[in-house]
Structures are given as structure tokens and as C-alpha cells.
Amino acid sequence: MIIFKRVFFIFFCLLSFYSVSKEIVINQKVLSAQQIEQLEMKLGYDIQSGHYWYDAESGLWGIANGPALGQTQKGLIKNSKLAAKASNGGSGVFINGRELCAQEIVFCQQQTEHVLAKGHYRLNESGQLGLINHATELVVRYPKNHRAFCHSKSNIALHNHTIKTDLMLS
């Protein structure tokens, strides 16, 4: 019985240390342990420590200062303002308030077969992209949820591969 108690105590200590040591920052806000737990329950898996941005309107997400790495559920995080510079873009092309970097513009232009003029666009969870205050809509298909908020090399490699080779409209 004493061995069981010791093993349980060690396991509990390690679990507590893991929970405390995990730091997840989304849209420049540090998530509490409770917020992390709720987000992981919604996603169905553990997310990795890191700094991310998240677009609650479309479900797009990426590593802070980088392009979108994929699309997950919209509305996972409420009341979290997405900064214009979340992707470190300098293009003058904005989607849901986030300025795109050159790599992501190439992706969108190949997806839509249109040149994206500088301006502000809206993107919804279905991939419908439209210039704000205009009726024209284009469709952009970002890679669907491949472990959102997990910055593994496979996510980054998948995104780089997609940008370079798989962007023709089907």
C-alpha cells in the first residue's frame, strides 16, 4: 500500500508540474490552466506550449509572427482580439484584420486564381473570401485542422509543402 501511495504521489507531482509549466499564449494573451484545459477538451488532444495567433471568425491559426498553418473550429476562443501584425505581414492585404505575409498571399492567389489587391477581406469558416463592402466572393481552402496549436515540424512541413506544390484549384 505504501508503494502505491508513493507512486501515486510522484505521478500527481509530475502531473501538477506539467500543468503549471505549460505556457500557451494565443493572440498575445497567456491562457490560464483552466482555459488550456477547456480548449484541449474542445479539440480532443493536448496542445503544445507556444505563442500562437487564432482567428475566431474563420478558425485559421498559426504560430505567432508566421503564416496560417491550418484551419480548425471557429469560435474556440471568445473575446480574443487578433492583432493586425499577428503574422508579421507587410503586404497591405488583410483577412479578418490580420495582415498577410507574402507566402500566404501566394497561397490565396493560387487558390482563387485571382490577384488579391491591397485591402481588407473577410474569410468565414467555409472558405468564402470577399473584399469588405463588395459583393464578389472567392473560395480559399486552407488545410483543415491538423493538430491546431501544435507547432510540430510536421505541421510546418505540411504547410511549406502545400504552399509550394499543392495549390492548384481542383
| Residue 59 in domain | yes
Whether residue 7 lies inside any domain: the answer is: no
Question: What is the pLDDT tens value at each position of the chain, 170 positions in all?
Answer: 677 566 656 665 555 555 457 999 999 999 999 999 999 999 999 999 999 999 999 999 999 999 999 999 999 998 889 999 999 999 999 999 999 999 999 998 998 888 889 999 999 999 888 888 876 677 777 777 667 777 654 444 434 433 332 322 22
Residue 129 within a domain? yes
User: Looking at the domain assignment, is residue 15 inside a domain?
Assistant: no
* Domain count within the chain: 1
Q: Which residues contact 156 (CB under 8 A, 6 or more apart)?
A: 63, 69
Within-domain flag for 10: no
For 75, the grid coordinates are 469560435
Measured CA to CA, the distance from residue 110 to residue 34 in angstroms comes to 40
Given a contact cutoff of 8 angstroms between Cβ atoms, the answer to whether 121 and 110 are in contact is no
Q: Is 72 within a domain?
A: yes
Domain-located, residue 107: yes
Q: Helix, strand, coil % (nearest 5) of the chain?
A: 30, 20, 50
- The boundaries of the domain holding residue 28 are 24-165
Is 54 domain-assigned? yes
